[in-house]
Amino acid sequence: MVRGNLPHKIKHFHEKYGDIVRVAPDELSFIRPDAWRDIYSKGREFVRPDEYKDQPPGKTAANLIACSETEHARLRKILAPGFSEKYAMEQEPFIQSYVDKLCEKLDDRLQNDKISTVDVVEWINYLAFDVIGDLTWGSSFGCLDGLTYHPWVQTVGQFKAAIVVGALKFYPPIYSFLMAITPPSALQAVMDMWKLTEQNVRERVAGGASRPDIVGTMMASESMTQEEMEVNSMMIVAAGSESITTVLTGVISHLLRTPDKLNTLVQILRTTFLSEQEITGSALKSLPYLDAVLNEGMRLCPTIPDGMRRNVPVGGATIAGQIIPGGMVVSIPPFTTYRASRNFTHAEEFAPERWLGEDVQSSKFQGDSKTAFNPFSLGAHNCPGQNLAWLELRIILVRLLWRYNLSIPPGVELPQWEDQGIWWFWDKQPTMVRFQKFR
């Protein structure tokens, strides 16, 4: 975990040993599609192991990742209206306005030949953080304004440090000792991040429920404490930004390597939409090739590539036809499962057409096990942000591809996606892309 190559190793073990691998004395990894249902969809029987529950320093309020199942059910019920499809659609004007800003900034950069080269990882991260800050507590981080990361964003992105702390939890005496001797100054950036979170939530609460956002949903329940609103909104900002950047940079990077797929998508978009104003959330729902491209991006670049670990309940359970004793840790590792040849034909290939379902009988992808793919997970702990995620992914990708011709700058080699390190999330390397104004 600490070296950032655990998911790669687990992939290698599955290739060598098969569908079910004992990756630690008390831990099993599964890549069979039926394991999804058995592990993640059995009500609340399988719970996240304590080592993977992250309680922010100095905070005790229940948050979605680190709380009891009863608290989790309460929080999900409160938050549900804020994650509905209707609510997501109400957020569209805000999303569109941030994409406008991104395009303005890109246009400013265009030189005489109308070409600009930028690192899409950075720029889409600016956009994703600004959007989710606004959608969560009504104020953005201003990353796009200054084309730079806000310190809050920099701190929340310190996954490598967080992984080291997480790994130490496997050695409780060492963990307690190191936590006891860590000087407060070492945690200064984290403390500053929490101060700003407190301030943003406090200001939003004082401002009243004037517009649709997630803190507004929390306030409407009248049953969440200030600290609960802080820890959960912080988590939503973190979960709702990094994921969007991963999928979009992953998709752009794969499209650039497969120009025929890029051309197919661009042709569809430019013949469907005659002006940029026609690109709306509802119009984008009926473009199967667009969704196929995004699904294929999520298959090859899953936002959570490592297994989402769960404890088998006391008394044991049957998983993928095997009887597993209680207390074992089990998971499905998306990076491995989605690239396994037992589940997908030409598994390492970027092939959006596998999701189109047309002419399935003659398709070379008819053997694919689509049920092996659950990008938003399943069950009580699945992703609540799916509606918002689809809306953001479609609007951002389509507006960029409609407005600009994207290409790999001469002499540049894009990073190979699967070779990047993984510290919970992909350690996305700079990805330089050339933008040329289409119209």
Shortest distance (Å) from residue 76 CB to ligand HEM = 6
**Residue 388 interacts with ligand HEM (CB under 6 A): yes or no:** yes
| Amino acid identity, position 99 | V
Please tell me the distance from the alpha carbon of residue 349 to that of residue 296, in angstroms, as a whole number.
9
**Residue 94 interacts with ligand HEM (CB under 6 A): yes or no:** no
- Which one of residues 62, 66, 239, 290 is an interface residue with ligand HEM (CB under 6 A)? 239
Helix (H, G, I), strand (E, B) or coil at 424: coil
| Amino acid identity, position 110 | L
Residue number, 116 or 201, with CB nearest to ligand HEM: 201
- Which one of residues 389, 396, 397, 414 is an interface residue with ligand HEM (CB under 6 A)? 389
Residue number, 15 or 54, with CB nearest to ligand HEM: 54
Please tell me the distance from the alpha carbon of residue 402 to that of residue 382, in angstroms, as a whole number.
32
Residues from 303 through 322 that contact ligand HEM (CB under 6 A): 303-304, 308
- Which one of residues 149, 289, 365, 376 is an interface residue with ligand HEM (CB under 6 A)? 376
| Amino acid identity, position 228 | E
- Which one of residues 91, 116, 140, 377 is an interface residue with ligand HEM (CB under 6 A)? 377
First to last CA, the chain: 46
Reduced 3-state DSSP string for 324-363: ECCCCEEECCHHHHHCCCCCCCCCCCCCHHHHCCCCCCCC
- Which one of residues 7, 33, 166, 240 is an interface residue with ligand HEM (CB under 6 A)? 240
Q: Judge residue 1's burial from the number of C-beta atoms within 10 Å of its C-beta, 0-12 exposed, 13-18 middle, 19 or more buried.
A: middle
Shortest distance (Å) from residue 190 CB to ligand HEM = 20
Which residues on adjacent β-strands are paired with residue 404?
437
Using CA of residue 431, residue 434, residue 438, residue 439, what is the dihedral sign? positive
Q: Does 103 count as an annotated binding residue?
A: no
**Residue 385 interacts with ligand HEM (CB under 6 A): yes or no:** yes
Shortest distance (Å) from residue 399 CB to ligand HEM = 17
Shortest distance (Å) from residue 423 CB to ligand HEM = 15
Helix (H, G, I), strand (E, B) or coil at 407: strand
Of 104-112, 237-245, 364-372, 398-406, which part binds ligand HEM (CB under 6 A)? 237-245
Residue number, 265 or 384, with CB nearest to ligand HEM: 384
For the record, the structure tokens of 356 come out as 């189109």
Residues from 53 through 92 that contact ligand HEM (CB under 6 A): 64-65, 76
Of 94-102, 320-328, 363-371, 373-381, which part binds ligand HEM (CB under 6 A)? 373-381
Residue number, 155 or 243, with CB nearest to ligand HEM: 243
Shortest distance (Å) from residue 305 CB to ligand HEM = 10
Of 234-242, 342-350, 407-415, 425-433, which part binds ligand HEM (CB under 6 A)? 234-242
Q: How many residues bind ligand HEM (CB under 6 A)?
A: 25
CB proximity list for 18: less than 8 A, separation 6 or greater: none
For the record, the structure tokens of 76 come out as 């999900």
What φ, ψ does residue 77 adopt, rounded to 5°? -65, -40
- Which one of residues 381, 394, 403, 428 is an interface residue with ligand HEM (CB under 6 A)? 381
Which residues on adjacent β-strands are paired with residue 21?
29
Please tell me the distance from the alpha carbon of residue 182 to that of residue 180, in angstroms, as a whole number.
6
Please tell me the distance from the alpha carbon of residue 98 to that of residue 140, in angstroms, as a whole number.
10
Of 223-231, 250-258, 343-351, 375-383, which part binds ligand HEM (CB under 6 A)? 375-383
Residue number, 40 or 435, with CB nearest to ligand HEM: 40
Helix (H, G, I), strand (E, B) or coil at 318: strand
> For residue 252, what is the enclosing H or E element?
helix 226-257
Residue with tokens 């089990």: 330
Closest listed residue to residue 327, CA positions, set 353, 309, 343: 309
Q: Which residue is nearest to ligand HEM (CB)?
A: 385
Which residues on adjacent β-strands are paired with residue 324?
317
**Residue 383 interacts with ligand HEM (CB under 6 A): yes or no:** yes
Residue with tokens 């690192």: 119
**Residue 215 interacts with ligand HEM (CB under 6 A): yes or no:** no
Residue number, 116 or 390, with CB nearest to ligand HEM: 390
Binding site for ligand HEM (CB under 6 A): 64-65, 76, 235-236, 239-240, 243-244, 247, 298, 303-304, 308, 375-377, 381-385, 388-389, 393
**Residues annotated within a binding site:** 383
Binding residues for heme: 383
